[in-house]
Amino acid sequence: MPGVYIMAVITIGLTAALCIAFLKYLTHSNRRYLWLLLPALLSSFIVNRWVKTPVITSIAAWANIPLRLGLDVPVWFIALILFNSPVFEEAIKMLPIAFPATCKMMNDASGSLWTGLALGMSFGLGEAAYIAYGLAQSPEYNSLHWFVFTGYATERLIVTFGHGFMTAVVAYGFYKGGRHALFGYLSAVGFHALINLGPILTALKLTPASVSSFGSYAIILGAFLLFQRYTRTARKMSGNEIEEIIYLERS
């Protein structure tokens, strides 16, 4: 068995445990949000196989451009590769809210954040499995021992939480409605594109891998800080609602 599969099992198991612990802490052990770690597990496979790859392949064939990253590739096509994942992935992560049971969980500010967080982390867990599968198909990687893939493990753990923070931003925008929904989606797309920019610059041999990783993790930290800001706002809103109810009852 390819060593990456062993590391994937360890990574996904540990990451899932941390996601559950984080959700239980934020929601005061409200178990209904834990179920949202399941709906988006296959989303990475679906969006990669049936959306992202066909779109970028079709455009490359239409423009007669080699499907690779290089300094000889047109800038517009590199930009297309950069935004391919953010645009489609940030959309598909929110699809489960189309179901009434999931939509009901977004009936207040905090609920929207926890819903988005769980759906994003669900996508990240599935993505970790999908990437492990992809690595196992390469002869360069499938013969390596499992402990060689510590970089994969670290990246997937951090990125899974990053997906959660970005989707929470989208969900919070949907809760507020109107232009806030568009702003939330575009914010997540922007964060996602900046996270992916580092690896693309590394593939173009413009920055070293260490700088790329640091930059990507710094952007995830920025998404977390925005998530924290929305969380504080949501708690204040909930506190005001409780005070208003108490006031009305006393009146």
What confidence score (pLDDT) does residue 143 get? 85
What confidence score (pLDDT) does residue 239 get? 65
pLDDT in tens, the chain (251 residues): 899 999 999 999 999 999 999 999 999 999 999 999 999 999 999 999 999 999 999 999 999 999 889 999 999 999 999 999 999 999 999 999 999 999 999 999 999 999 999 999 999 999 999 999 999 999 889 889 999 999 999 999 999 999 999 999 999 999 999 999 999 999 999 999 999 999 999 999 999 999 999 999 999 999 999 999 999 999 888 765 544 434 445 54
Q: What is the dihedral of CA 160, 188, 103, 32, to 10 degrees?
A: 30
| Residue 246 near residue 184 (C-beta atoms within 8 A) | no
What confidence score (pLDDT) does residue 248 get? 40
Which structure tokens are listed for 141?
A: 């990687």
| Residue 4 near residue 135 (C-beta atoms within 8 A) | yes
What's the gap between Cα 196 and its chain centre? 12
Which structure tokens are listed for 56?
A: 């970028």
| Residue 204 near residue 212 (C-beta atoms within 8 A) | no
Predicted TM-score (pTM) of this structure: 0.94
What confidence score (pLDDT) does residue 246 get? 41
Helix%, strand%, coil% for the chain, nearest 5? 85, 0, 15
All structural domains of the chain with their residue ranges: 3-250
What confidence score (pLDDT) does residue 120 get? 98
Residue 111: CB atoms within 10 A of its CB come to 21
d(CA 72, CA 203): 13
